[in-house]
Amino acid sequence: MKTLDDLLGEGVSGRRVLVRADLNVPFDKADPSRISDDGRIRAVLPTLITLRDAGARVIVCSHLGRPKGAPDPKYTLAPVATRLGELLGNPVVFAEDTVGPSARAAADALLDGQVLLLENLRFNAGETSKDDAERGAFADELAGLAEFYVDDAFGAVHRKHASVYDVAARLPHYAGGLVLTEVEVLRKVSETPEQPYVVVLGGSKVSDKLAVIQALLPKVDKLLIGGGMCFTFLKAQGHEVGKSLLEAEMISTCADLLSQADGRIVLPVDVVAATAFDASAEHDVVDISDIPADRLGLDIGPKSVALFAETIANAKTVFWNGPMGVFELAPFAAGTRGVAEAITKIDGFSVVGGGDSAAAVRALGIDESGFGHISTGGGASLEYLEGKSLPGLSALES
Ligand code: 3PG
Ligand code: MG
């Protein structure tokens, strides 16, 4: 895989460099114009600054959300361009389309050391198309804007999309520093984790995490499960879970996993059960054998936090993906906070995998320096740990 250093060696001053970034940031639910966590923008700054300072004409592209292949103002990258400019200390030029007249004119007019952000890649059907020719045609247009391609979008390397996969075949291609760091950390965790190795998984669905659970079970000393997905496991153990999230079709799979795991899967022993999915709903801590029929579990309880923290404290390696509860609502944030804080205290190496967990760390004001690495990729880091080949990485390798 060629790196940014190799590219600098080619001489980039005055040359147009297309950088694929993952600027898919969350917005505030109450104020949809406010970026609630700019971690992904900050993570790509070193690459952009290196190119800018070397005099390159930097053309940044990204997706945001999941628009349906046509322009949709709800998913414009315009506010991201503003924030990126603030962080770079210089305004960023924004193109109102991705490969159309606005993008081409802006790319042509770029000065040495200037940064341009193209409008959302997913406003174009070719970006995510399953049809190689349709994706290829869009990749031709993207590649036509620049002379070199840098992929620093770790969060999207698991997608076989035009800007991630096909463009690399059309331009000299290089891995950005973020992609390199992420891959190095995940390789270390998946190939040679120092034992005890503890994995903490949360989030809402077992079905999303099934492949990674199967891949990790033989490798881990303990697998701690919280979040909405724990209720399907609790049900598989014979507990009634009231109105909690439940994937009925996964109950028998969970039962199989529990028997294979031979005690290595650790589930909550108590939960915070509420009358509704609402910050003002009535709620109490209950043991998992006493979840009322008319309530839903929205966080793990204090005894579970203590149990998880004790297991985490002995670990030399921890990988954590997925919140333990609905941390966005204050009454249901203690589980995620307790587990995150326990991870920051280990005498070992910890990795926070992913979008939601990384955003939770920052939203809860937990000291980021307490973690070994905070990944920018949720799905991407999980697929890496599953041992899958990731299209964005294979494209860079070839
Ligand atoms: C993410 O947030 O998971 C990445 O930006 C990839 O987005 P996607 O899941 O919509 O492809
Ligand atoms: Mg995703």
What confidence tens digit (pLDDT) does each residue in 218-257 have?
999 999 999 999 999 999 999 999 999 999 999 999 999 9
Using the predicted structure, report yes or no on whether residue 200 has a pLDDT greater than 90.
yes
- Residue among 20, 22, 68 to mutate when testing ligand 1 (max atoms within 8 A of CB): 22
- Mean pLDDT along residues 194-216: 94
Are the beta carbons of 297 and 231 closer than 8 angstroms?
A: yes
First and final CA of the chain: distance in angstroms? 8
Are the beta carbons of 14 and 57 closer than 8 angstroms?
A: yes
What confidence tens digit (pLDDT) does each residue in 222-233 have?
999 999 999 999
Looking from the CA of residue 24, the nearest atom of ligand 1 is 5
Looking from the CA of residue 22, the nearest atom of ligand 1 is 5
Whole-number Å distance, alpha carbon 24 to ligand 1 midpoint, is 7
Using the predicted structure, report yes or no on whether residue 382 has a pLDDT greater than 80.
yes
Report how far Cα 70 is from the mean position of its chain's Cα atoms: 24
> Percent of the chain having pLDDT more than 90?
94
Residues in the 5 Å CB sphere of ion ligand 2:
379
Using the predicted structure, report yes or no on whether residue 60 has a pLDDT greater than 90.
yes
Contact residues for 385 (Cβ-Cβ < 8 A; gap 6+)? 186, 189, 190, 212, 215, 216, 319, 353
Looking from the CA of residue 355, the nearest atom of ligand 1 is 2
Phi, psi of 181 (to 5 degrees): -65, -45
Using the predicted structure, report yes or no on whether residue 355 has a pLDDT greater than 80.
no
Report how far Cα 217 is from the mean position of its chain's Cα atoms: 22
Burial 281-313 (b: 16+ CB within 10 A, else e): bebeebebeebeeebbbbbbbeebbebbbebbe
pLDDT (0 to 100) of residue 395: 98
Are the beta carbons of 224 and 311 closer than 8 angstroms?
A: yes
pLDDT (0 to 100) of residue 365: 93
* CB neighbours of residue 393 within 10 Å: 22
Q: Is 299 helix (H, G, I), strand (E, B) or coil?
A: strand
Q: Is 391 in the pocket of ligand 1 (CB under 6 A)?
A: no
Using the predicted structure, report yes or no on whether residue 88 has a pLDDT greater than 80.
yes
How far apart CA 135 and CA 375 sit, in angstroms, is 28
- Mean pLDDT along residues 11-19: 98
Whole-number Å distance, alpha carbon 384 to ligand 1 midpoint, is 14
Q: Is 66 in the pocket of ligand 1 (CB under 6 A)?
A: yes
Using the predicted structure, report yes or no on whether residue 356 has a pLDDT greater than 90.
no
Whole-number Å distance, alpha carbon 24 to ligand 2 midpoint, is 9
pLDDT (0 to 100) of residue 33: 87
pLDDT (0 to 100) of residue 345: 97
pLDDT (0 to 100) of residue 359: 86
- Mean pLDDT along residues 161-182: 98
Q: Is 159 in the pocket of ligand 1 (CB under 6 A)?
A: yes
Q: Whose CA is nearest to atom 1 of ligand 1?
A: 155
Looking from the CA of residue 379, the nearest atom of ligand 1 is 3
Q: Is 24 in the pocket of ligand 1 (CB under 6 A)?
A: yes
- Mean pLDDT along residues 342-370: 92
- The packing angle between helices 355-363 and 39-53, to 10°, is 100
- Residue among 68, 130, 159 to mutate when testing ligand 1 (max atoms within 8 A of CB): 159
pLDDT (0 to 100) of residue 354: 80
Q: Whose CA is nearest to atom 7 of ligand 1?
A: 156
With 0-12 CB in 10 A as exposed, 13-18 as middle and 19+ as buried, what is 369? Answer: exposed
Looking from the CA of residue 380, the nearest atom of ligand 1 is 3
Contact residues for 110 (Cβ-Cβ < 8 A; gap 6+)? 16, 57, 58, 59, 93, 116
Report, as residue numbers or ranges, the catalytic residues: 40, 205, 355, 379
Using the predicted structure, report yes or no on whether residue 339 has a pLDDT greater than 80.
yes
Whole-number Å distance, alpha carbon 379 to ligand 2 midpoint, is 5
What confidence tens digit (pLDDT) does each residue in 263-296 have?
999 999 999 999 999 999 999 999 999 999 999 9
Q: Is 353 in the pocket of ligand 1 (CB under 6 A)?
A: no
What confidence tens digit (pLDDT) does each residue in 115-130 have?
999 999 999 999 999 9
